[in-house]
Every structure is written in C-alpha cells, then in structure tokens.
Amino acid sequence: MREYAAAWDDYELLDAGGGRKLERWGEVLTIRPEINAGGAALWPLAQWRELAHWEFVETSPTQGRWQRLRPDAPESWSIAYRQLRFNLKLTQFKHVGLFPEQQANWHFIAERVAAGARILNLFAYTGAASLVARAAGAEVTHVDSVRQMLDWANANQASSGLTDIKWVLEDALKFAGRELKRGKSYDGIVMDPPAWGLGANGEKWKLENQLPRLAETARGLLQPGGFLVLNTYSPKVGLQELAAAAGPHFGQGQSETKQLWARSRTGNRLYYGNLLRAVV
C-alpha cells in the first residue's frame, strides 16, 4: 500500500513535523509548510532556522512569501538527479520547481522505457518525468497549459544536455482526447493532474469528477505492453477512487494503487498523495 521515494545526492528530506518540512536541495535548505506533517519534528524549529537558507511564510491558503534566513541564500540554483539537471527557483506558491517525492515514479518510468518508446506526459509541469524518459531514449510529448512551465521544462532539457522533446501548450485532457480520435498510441502515459482549477474558458476542474475520463482516455491511447502512471495530491481522491476509475478499463492484475511516502533523515515519515500504476 505504501511506496517510499528515495533521497539522492542532491536532495534529502531532513525532518518533518509541526506542519512543516525541512529539505536540502543540493547546498540550499528550505523550510516549507506541509499539511501532512502533523506529528512532532525531531529537531527543534530553532535548529531548522539556523540551518536553512529560506523559509516560506504563508499569507493565504494558496500563496505566501519567502523569508531569507541567511544572507548568502540564492533565489535560483540547480541540482542534479543522475545525469539530469533541474533548475530551481523560489515561487509565490511555496514550490521551487520540482516534486522530489516523484523519484519513486521516475524510477518506475526509467525501468520500463526502452529506446524509441513513445511517451506522453500530461499536466507535465517542469518536465522531470519527461527528462527521465528522454534520457532513456524515448520519444517524448510533453503537454502543459501554462507557458511558463513549458519554458521552465525546456530550460531543464537544455541543462540536462537533451534535445527533441515535443512541447505542446494545450489543455492536457483535450489534447489526449484529440490524440485518441487521431488513432495515436503510446508506450507510456504519465499524468499528474491538479486537484482543482479553472480552465481557459472558466470551466471548473475537479479531479474526482474527471478520474473516469482520464483512465478511459489513457487506456485508449496505450499500446499493448504500455504503462500508465497517474499521480494525485487531491485529498478527495483516495485509493478506492483510483481503483474504481481504473477498474472498467484495466483487467485484473493490470493496475495497482499505492500511497506515496518519504522518510526523513530523522526517521519521520511523510505522506504525499496517492498513485495509480497500470501495465497493459
């Protein structure tokens, strides 16, 4: 039921608790709010602040500001993951451009991608999964509806010494639906859909309402032997909801649902969200 993401040389969850997490990104340490860090931290908050370069202070449920804790704290920097490089920077939404707990899915993708495989990354953000697949030799189509995210992902591609990812600025589900009508198919599909939001024309998006369509569309696009990774951070989408969405489209033994977790250096465990994986 649980899968744990692993730390690597340039990233580590150091401690978590009290509604916060302390992380190391290369040489830069950050303190960020974390709703799932409900227990007690092992290190006192004063020690966190002595170590960290930045702390994110919330000013609303969705935004806030970064407080500089050390005079030499950089506002942008880069870290490595295997042969890849990710460019990080501070944003007003507490993120820095990478979800490191996705290491568990990157590992899954790298194990299954062969040279020449066709991979579709939907709701693709800054492109970590796209880079992992491209580095393994895949032909990657990367879809996101936000221009800044495409630009960020493209910069990560250049920093990683990679080329030829296909960038698509479009609503991810609409693009996938058109690909299905065009008779296109893929060897792997990766999705990290938002929990909620508004479309370009003001239409409301709620992930719990879209799950069946996402699963159906993905199954229709997958080649025999292909895989699906569907990751979610929505509190309204549990393992049962993921399994129910997958059930009509993937046969017995083809799909599994898991919780995504990470362990801190201090031994605390942090829950991040749920994921569905399927291999057809």
Write down the pTM of the prediction.
0.95
Report the pLDDT value the prediction gives residue 60, as an integer from 0 to 100.
87
Fold entry, domain 2-81? Immunoglobulin-like (2.60.40)
Mean pLDDT of 195-208: 77
Q: What is the pLDDT of residues 145-192, one digit of tens each?
A: 999 999 999 999 999 999 999 999 999 999 999 999 999 999 999 999
Q: Above pLDDT 90, what percent of the chain?
A: 92
Classify domain 98-279 at the CATH topology level. Rossmann fold (3.40.50)
For the chain, the domains span 2-81, 98-279
- Residue 61 confidence class, pLDDT cut points 50, 70, 90: confident
HEC profile for the chain? CEEEECCECCEEEEEEECCEEEEEECCEEEEEECCCCCCCCCCCHHHHHHHCCEEEEECCCCCEEEEECCCCCCCEEEEEECCEEEEEECCCCCCCCCCHHHHHHHHHHHHHCCCCCEEEEECCCCCHHHHHHHHCCCEEEEEECCHHHHHHHHHHHHHCCCCCCEEEECCHHHHHHHHHHCCCCEEEEEECCCCEEECCCCCEEEHHHHHHHHHHHHHHHEEEEEEEEEEECCCCCCHHHHHHHHCCCCCCCCEEEEEEEEECCCCCEEEEEEEEEEEC
